[in-house]
Structure 1
Amino acid sequence: MSDTLTVDLTIIQQWIAAKLEPEIVEQKLKESGLDAASISTHLRAFRKLKNAKKLQAGFICMAAGAFLGFVSCLLTILNPFPDLYNVILFGLTSVAICIICLGMYLVFE
């Protein structure tokens, strides 16, 4: 029979809110007297939950940058504001690329 290890998500969310490092969390778990398998399960859940927030922020940044790039592309092609052509082509596109790169950094970190 295999024992299923349960992880208390409220405690993990408290650790994330307190911005604890994984080493400190591991020490706290050892002090509470948990076995090695339970400690590794808790640490895995802690890291997964901690990285989920970065992943969500990364996808939001990539989507916002892609939308801004699309708008920049449309405004460049349609050229509704001839005086702002260079600002739209070079400025808005550069901002969109920077936001996309920030999002990719958050996702792939």
Structure 2
Amino acid sequence: MHETTFSTLLYRYFFFGWLFRDTSRGTLFERAAAWRYNREQARWLPTYMWRWMWWGLAFYALGGVVELLLDSPLLSMLFYVPSALAVPVNAVIAAAWVGFKAMPGPL
């Protein structure tokens, strides 16, 4: 049996690209099937949004704690930057989710 490495699991926990199929290749029927598959897999996107939101909030809180308790703005930057990056990642995930719900399939 194939064992999945920890780094692969960590990647799959935070990034969702592995869930989807390419809809730009194949015949019209293959592209339509890939689109339907991707629409079904889009149900997992809110889960990824929650993960990024909670990790962003946790890093923001850690940055605040480090800044207040240790009085070290440079060290707290190590926590504030990942928390700030969670915002655009969530925006991309939300756009993808809305796109899968609202857009018609390939023609």
User: TM-score, normalization: structure 1?
Assistant: 0.42
User: TM-score, normalization: structure 2?
Assistant: 0.42
